[in-house]
Chains A and B, each alone.
Chain A
Amino acid sequence: MELLYAITLGVLTSCGIYLLLRARTFTVILGLTLLSHAVNLYLFASGRLVSSAPAIVGLADHSADPVPQALVLTAIVIGFAMTAFVVVLALKAAVELRNDHVDGENPDEDRP
């Protein structure tokens, strides 16, 4: 399970970083989303990967660490709000600057 988890994280992170380095705001936002998924999974794994262990003491022989689950929940909420904000900001910038380039202008297309 650990190997599969680690490979998933690696793929998510590398795809996220690749998209983050693109020149259009939409792909950058997709990259941020993938990166935040990877980060949430990573936080979740910091409590160790165990199966059939509830996060409540006494229900089973051993219980999972509840703290990373609480951290992930906070991180998801914050990440969701931030993504929503950056989407709106990117739309505003695209309307005001009349293109969706991250620098507000595309040096290849906008120059005559």
Chain B
Amino acid sequence: MTHLVILPILIPLLTGASLLLLYATPVGVQRRVSIASTLALTLLGVWAVSTAGSGELTLYHLGDWPAPFGIVLVLDRLSAIMLSLTAGLSLFCVLYASRGIDRQGAHFHALFQFQLAGINGAFLTGDLFNLFVFFEILLIASYALLLHGGGRARSRAGLHYVIINLVSSALFLLALGTLYGVTGTLNMADLALAVAATPAAGQPLLTAASMLLLVVFGIKAAVLPLLFWLPRAYSASSAPVAALFAIMTKVGVYAILRVFLLVFGLGESPANQVAWGWLWPLALLTLGLGGIGALGSASLRTMTAYLVILSVGTLLATISFVSAATLGAALFYLIHSTCMTAVFFLLADLLGQQREQGYDRFSDIAPMGHRWLLGSVFFIAAISMAGLPPFSGFVSKLWILQATSGQPQGFWLWGVLLAAALLILVAVSRAGSGWFWRPGTMAAPRPLDRVCMWLVCLMIGVSAGLSALGEPVINYLELTAEQLLAPQAYIDAVLPESARLAREVAP
């Protein structure tokens, strides 16, 4: 048993705790500790991707308790992808924040590390109650990060965000209580067998619990009726925090994938059919609303928040086809959209600092410093975001369209997805032309932070690299989709044989 699997949780947890003790040290020391921890996480992410690439599941039994009794951490291909994506994104965010934003309030780096611990734990755990605990860790860190820096807008957005997430935690616990009451287990693999073996009398309760879970994960992922907290919260938070939050909605998507493909995915008429039936129209509406919201928003940060919503809608609509081809395409889109929305949040800050007035509001027409350089970067980022060639946005969208073309529902997805892409194109071109063409160059431009500039360019470079060197990534994601659609292999790996047999003879 290798201990490396638990390190993505332990490293940020211990770093965060020690950063609290290092509170009195100069900010440079805190930054170095935080960056070192995030670098270590990035290396672990690379290790995770290469280890999981063999197709074998890596398990870690906490306290060496056997699977259905103790908590188990499971590293499969999907967890590995999410871990490395989080680590890479957080490295960019922590470097960007270290250029000055972390000094706007206390304990930025400690909170950042606790947030990473929660996210990584949610991706690794194989126990449903443990998933709840890690959700709470990442949420309480995100509450404090959202409020970091203070201000009226943040307090107001924070209140909504905290209250809706507390309600969702209550619903999560209700669902867990119901599941435990019916099946008597919370280990995901064991739960999958128990759910499939539940007699017809218990099925309505299980369906109710699965729908409660869908609501909880829907709040995290921001699906249509549950998304109205997002634009205000994301546009109020500081740039690196908002960029990190780009992965938070994906935690909800990950939980939906994990729970509905594994826990409710077994048996002849699996319990997840009801969930997919609801998810499909809601995701399509979310996608449309994201496009309309992006067109109607008044600032670049709000527009990016709606682009996050749009990406969630695209992802969930593609996922609800539940086939190997669409899942692979959805995962590629997940990587692309996380990178690009993070780029846009950082870019909004970078551009806002260079504008004479109005920060990132569209209504102000103000001269801008370094107009040519920033304009070119914005142009390239916008091309990738809108899904035009040659960047990853184009590849991912093409793959989604190709994967869904044979399906009867594919027609709807094609229509809404392409219409939303047109709306994004209009929105970003309006933003770009209003900012870079109409006003003149600022007479005395403010100094441009070269490091921040390079970070944003590097992230766009990652997006370009995804499309240029896409083949190995696409192969990996196709294998991931196959692994996701074969829950029996997961169960065989996690549960010892005795536990599986006990489940089969139980009534």
Contact = CB atoms under 8 A, between A and B. Distances in A.
A104 B162 contact: no
Interface of B: 129, 133, 136, 140, 143, 147, 151-152, 155-156, 158-160, 162-163, 166-167, 169-170, 173-174, 176-178, 180-181, 184, 186
Main secondary structure of the interface of B (DSSP, over half): helix
B159 A89 contact: yes
B159 A46 contact: no
Chain A CB count within 10 A is highest, among B136, B152, B170, B181, for B170
A78 B176 CA distance: 15
Contact of B159 (A25, A36, A47): A25
A86 B166 contact: yes
30 contacts: A20-B163, A28-B163, A32-B167, A36-B166, A42-B173, A42-B174, A43-B173, A46-B181, A68-B177, A71-B176, A71-B177, A71-B180, A74-B133, A81-B140, A82-B140, A82-B162, A82-B166, A82-B169, A85-B140, A85-B162, A86-B166, A89-B158, A89-B159, A89-B162, A92-B155, A93-B159, A97-B152, A97-B156, A104-B152, A104-B159
Chain A CB count within 10 A is highest, among B133, B143, B156, for B156
A25 B133 CA distance: 26
Contacts of A103: 156
B233 to A, nearest CB: 13
B136 A45 contact: no
Contacts of A97: 152, 155-156
Interface in A60-112: 65, 67-68, 71, 74-75, 78-79, 81-82, 85-86, 89-90, 92-93, 96-97, 102-104
A78 B133 CA distance: 8
Chain A CB count within 10 A is highest, among B129, B136, B159, for B159
A35 B156 contact: no
Main secondary structure of the interface of A (DSSP, over half): helix
B270 to A, nearest CB: 23
B159 A90 contact: yes
A42 B179 CA distance: 12
Contacts of A15: none
Interface in A1-55: 20, 25, 28, 32, 35-36, 39-40, 42-43, 45-48
Number of chain A interface residues as a range:
35 or more
Closest 8 CB pairs of A and B: A46-B181, A104-B156, A46-B177, A93-B155, A43-B177, A39-B173, A46-B180, A39-B170
Contacts of B133: 74, 78
A89 B139 CA distance: 14
A1 B133 CA distance: 31
A25 to B, nearest CB: 7
A32 B174 contact: no
Contacts of B140: 81-82, 85
A45 B177 contact: yes
A90 B180 CA distance: 34
B167 A42 contact: no
Chain A CB count within 10 A is highest, among B174, B177, B181, for B177
B156 A78 contact: no
Contact of B178 (A46, A89, A93): A46
Nearest to A78: B136
Nearest to A98: B152
A32 B167 CA distance: 7
Chain B CB count within 10 A is highest, among A45, A81, A89, A90, for A89
Contacts of B136: 78, 82
Contacts of B174: 39, 42
Contacts of A78: 133, 136, 169
Contact of A102 (B129, B147, B160, B181): B160
B155 A96 contact: yes
